Amino acid sequence: MTAATDKTLRLLFPQWQGGNNAPYYFGAQLLSWLAPAASGPVEHVRVPEPNGEKLELENGLIARGALLEQLSHAQHLIGKHQPDRMVVLGGDCLVDLAPFAYLNERYNGELAVLWVDAHPDVLTPQDFQHAHAMVLGNLLGEGDEDFRQAVKRPLKPANVMYAGLQETMGVETAMIKRLGLRSASPADLAQSSEPILQWLKASGAQHLAIHFDLDVLDATLFRSLLFAQPNVPADTFDGIAQGKMTMDQVVRLLADVAQVVDVVGLGIAEHLPWDTLALKNMLAKLPLLGKPQTL
């Protein structure tokens, strides 16, 4: 394939129910607006706009039914185009389930996946109620049956590596060890991409999909992240791993891997632009902009 003949599908997927965090809906739309113009087809996965409703626990998972409907629609859109490459703009991390499952089929079960994330995303409904923390496990053939059914050819564990992963919980550590998943910490990648480049060389992979969870970034440097949420108690996120990488480090890493392997997938997730959302809400309350004022 060449760049002139490849079909790259861009999916806007403002899923928010997987993390039960309504601002992901706006974050995905802003991410789409900020991204360079697409050169190929663009599709929007149907996701209802949050209206303040309480999401229900359904058989161990919050909003299971809505998430499965969105998964099905994403599969339909992908099947409609049969792309060679995909860009996914989300939304919570679960948005990469259908696209990466498709790409692994498209490349005969030999897709490599670089998971750029502070968290491993291999939990199960027995451990957690939010499906966005389970997506890589599903892609590896683990976890909830309803979501595993979207993965006809699970990823090979040897073809998966984490970049920027922080400390993990016991159940996550056990699964990572059982599957033999490789990992490079923020410190490992601070000055060099070599740990990832060595893995790619050893794997022999020809095609790579990259999952980029923005929370791999340091929230003291980039504030549009869960951990920079304003007006919450100071201890809200105590005990939860937080990213330590810089934008420059991530850009360098992804540029380096693109020099040695064909990047066929890029998913960007978990954008929470708190300041922009606050400004949007403020504008809606101002005279002549917002609702008519009563005297």
**What does the pLDDT read at residue 169?**
87
Mean pLDDT of the 229-242 span: 92
Confidence of residue 4 (pLDDT cuts 50, 70, 90): very low
* pLDDT score of 230 more than 70: yes
Dihedral sign of CA atoms 96, 101, 106, 110 in order: positive
82-96, 228-242, 263-277: segment of lowest average pLDDT:
228-242
**What does the pLDDT read at residue 291?**
80
* pLDDT score of 51 more than 80: yes
Contact 139, 93 (CB under 8 A): no
**What does the pLDDT read at residue 2?**
45
* pLDDT score of 5 more than 70: no
* pLDDT score of 245 more than 80: yes
Residue 81: exposure state from Cβ atoms within 10 A (0-12, 13-18, ≥19): middle
For the CA atoms of 97, 55, 10, 189, what is the dihedral angle to 10 degrees?
A: -60
- Provide the whole-model pTM: 0.96
Delineate the domains of the chain, giving CATH numbers in brackets: 8-283 (3.40.800.10)
pLDDT digits (tens, 9 = 90+) for 108-156: 999 999 999 999 999 999 999 999 999 999 999 999 999 999 999 999 9
Contact 249, 190 (CB under 8 A): yes
Q: Give Rg (Cα) of the chain.
A: 19
